[in-house]
Amino acid sequence: MSGRGAANGYRERNTTADRALDILTMFGDEQVVVTGPLVAERLGVSRSTAYRYLQSLVSAQFLEDAPGGGFRLGLRVLELARLARRTFGLSDIAAPVIHELAQDVGEVVLVTRRTGDLVVCLDRAESHERRVRISYERGTVLPINAGASATVLLAWSDPEEARQLLARAELKRFTDATLTDVDALVDRMAHIRSDGYAVARSELDPKIMGIAAPIWGPREGEVVGAVSVAGLVSRIPPKVERVIVAKVRLAAARISERYSVVQS
């Protein structure tokens, strides 16, 4: 095949692929079935051409005939969705949100998850403008009794289970602000549930404060992780703290929504 013919063939295949993607992206909550006339109108092509595109997608099992007429998403789409859910972890889903938040607030942002009586840092994002030297790297294990992330992750557990977990755990004191009394921690978690977020000042490091909000899973009341901002106490006066709290809660809500969609 000549170079000219090959180029034309590539353009034709590319155009067909683009049309197929255009058809697949027509589906949504309000559009679960598409028809030949609708596709023809949206793509600006004849009905015969629209049906040719549709039949190609049916042959590849991306679409199938819908009861009552038209076409609905096919089994191949369901299989790809299943594979996508397997490859998307919490850190993958959270990454773009926490990087955006880090640039917005100018501080370090963490995603953490609880495993038993430990808290694990899954991912972190840093501001390009300001750097904070903290040891919360990916994979770092944090204690259950200190820091905003830890208390948020435990706050929505069954209170009696949380009490027993804390009673069994080794509750270390890192600063004068670290809580090691089980009753005090349980009481604090009740306040966090009421507020919907946690603020921790100088509990792990005298110079660092954290602001955290829960990431919700698809099951009601299920906390699967936490988003937190860690910054210098000196850089976060009360007015700035209130702004960061709102932004952290919004980021957590965005991650929660996407995570629930992927896991459903």
Question: What integer pLDDT is reported at residue 7 of this predicted model?
Answer: 39
pLDDT of residue 1: 40
Going from N- to C-terminal start, the domains of the chain cover 3-82, 88-263
Q: What is the pLDDT of residues 36-79, one digit of tens each?
A: 999 999 999 999 999 999 999 999 899 999 999 999 999 888 87
Measured CA to CA in angstroms, residue 202 lies from 108, 131, 145, 150, 179 at distances of 16, 18, 13, 14, 11
Return the closest-CA partner of residue 119 out of 249, 228, 196. Answer: 228
Distances (CA, A) of 124 to 56, 139, 229: 44, 10, 10
Spans of the chain below 70 pLDDT: 1-14, 82-88, 130-136, 264
CATH fold, domain 88-263, is Beta-Lactamase (3.30.450)
pLDDT of residue 262: 78
In which region does residue 141 sit, left (phi positive, over 0), alpha (psi from -120 to 50) or beta (all else)? beta
What are 125-139's pLDDT values in tens digits? 988 776 666 666 777
pLDDT at position 87? 52
What pLDDT sits at residue 192?
96
Instruction: Report in angstroms the alpha-carbon separations of 61 from 43, 53, 56, 257.
Output: 21, 13, 9, 29
The percent of residues in the chain predicted with pLDDT above 90, rounded, is 62
Q: Whose structure tokens read 């820091």? A: 147
* pLDDT for res 97: 96
User: What pLDDT is recorded for position 4?
Assistant: 40
Q: Options 3.30.360.10, 1.10.10.10, 1.25.40.10, 3.40.50.300; which CATH number does 3-82 get?
A: 1.10.10.10
Q: How distant, in Å, are the alpha carbons of 80, 193, 213 from that of 198? A: 38, 9, 7
DSSP 195: H
